[in-house]
Amino acid sequence: MSLHIVRNDIARMHCDAIVNAANTELRRGGGVCGAIFAAADASALESTCRSLAPCPTGRAVATPGYGLSCQWIIHAVGPVWEDGSRGEEELLRSAYRSALKIVEEKNCASAAFPLISAGIYGFPMEDALEIATQELQYYLLDHDVDLYLVIFSRESLLIGSSLFHDIQSYIDDKYIDSHEFRRKNSFYDTEVCGSCVPKPCMAAETVSADRSLEELMSMREESFSDMVLRLIREKDLSEVAVYKSSNLDRKLFSKLRSNRDYQPSKNTALALAVGLRLNVDETRDLLGKAGFALSRSSRQDIIVEYFLTHEIYDIMTINEALFDFDQHLLGA
Same domain, 299 and 166: yes
Q: Is residue 40 part of a domain?
A: yes
In total, how many domains does the chain have? Answer: 2
Amino acid at 273: A
pLDDT band, very low/low/confident/very high, at 157 (cuts 50, 70, 90): low
Q: Give the least confident one: 135-139, 206-210, 220-224, 298-302.
A: 206-210
Same domain, 92 and 45: yes
pLDDT band, very low/low/confident/very high, at 1 (cuts 50, 70, 90): low
Note the pLDDT of residue 119. 86
Last residue of a domain, one of 151, 184, 217: 151
Note the pLDDT of residue 295. 93
Dihedral sign (CA 24, 26, 28, 33): positive
DSSP labels, 273-286: HHHTT--HHHHHHH
pLDDT band, very low/low/confident/very high, at 226 (cuts 50, 70, 90): very high
pLDDT at 179 exceeding the cut of 90: no
3-class DSSP state for residue 114? coil
Note the pLDDT of residue 158. 73
pLDDT band, very low/low/confident/very high, at 152 (cuts 50, 70, 90): confident
Q: Residue 72 — φ and ψ, nearest 5°?
A: -135, 145
pLDDT at 36 exceeding the cut of 80: yes
60-64 vs 17-22, strand pairing mode: unpaired
Element holding 146 (H helix, E strand): strand 146-151
Same domain, 182 and 95: no
**Mean pLDDT, rounded, of the chain:** 87
Q: What residues does 148 pair with on adjacent strands?
A: 4, 112
Note the pLDDT of residue 219. 56
Q: Is residue 331 part of a domain?
A: no
pLDDT band, very low/low/confident/very high, at 126 (cuts 50, 70, 90): confident
Note the pLDDT of residue 177. 61
**Residue-wise burial string across 92-126, b where 16 or more C-beta atoms lie within 10 A, e elsewhere:** bbbbbbbbbebbeeeebebbbbbbbbbbebebebb
Q: Is 198 left (phi over 0), alpha (psi -120 to 50) or beta?
A: beta
pLDDT at 212 exceeding the cut of 70: no
pLDDT at 199 exceeding the cut of 70: no
**Residue-wise burial string across 8-24, b where 16 or more C-beta atoms lie within 10 A, e elsewhere:** eebbebebbbbbbbbbe
Q: Give the least confident one: 28-42, 112-126, 212-226.
A: 212-226
Helix axes 125-140, 88-105, angle to 10 degrees: 40
pLDDT at 189 exceeding the cut of 50: no
Note the pLDDT of residue 185. 45
Q: Is residue 332 part of a domain?
A: no
Q: Is residue 299 part of a domain?
A: yes
216-238: average pLDDT: 87
Last residue of a domain, one of 151, 186, 215: 151
Per the CB < 8 A criterion, the answer to whether 265 and 248 are in contact is no
Q: How far apart are CA 193 and CA 297, in angstroms?
A: 5
Share of the chain above pLDDT 70, in %: 85
Last residue of a domain, one of 90, 121, 151: 151
Same domain, 123 and 71: yes
Same domain, 130 and 275: no
pLDDT tens-place string over residues 17-35: 999 999 999 999 988 999 9
Name the CA radius of gyration of the chain, rounded: 22
61-84: average pLDDT: 97
Q: What residues does 72 pair with on adjacent strands?
A: 17, 64
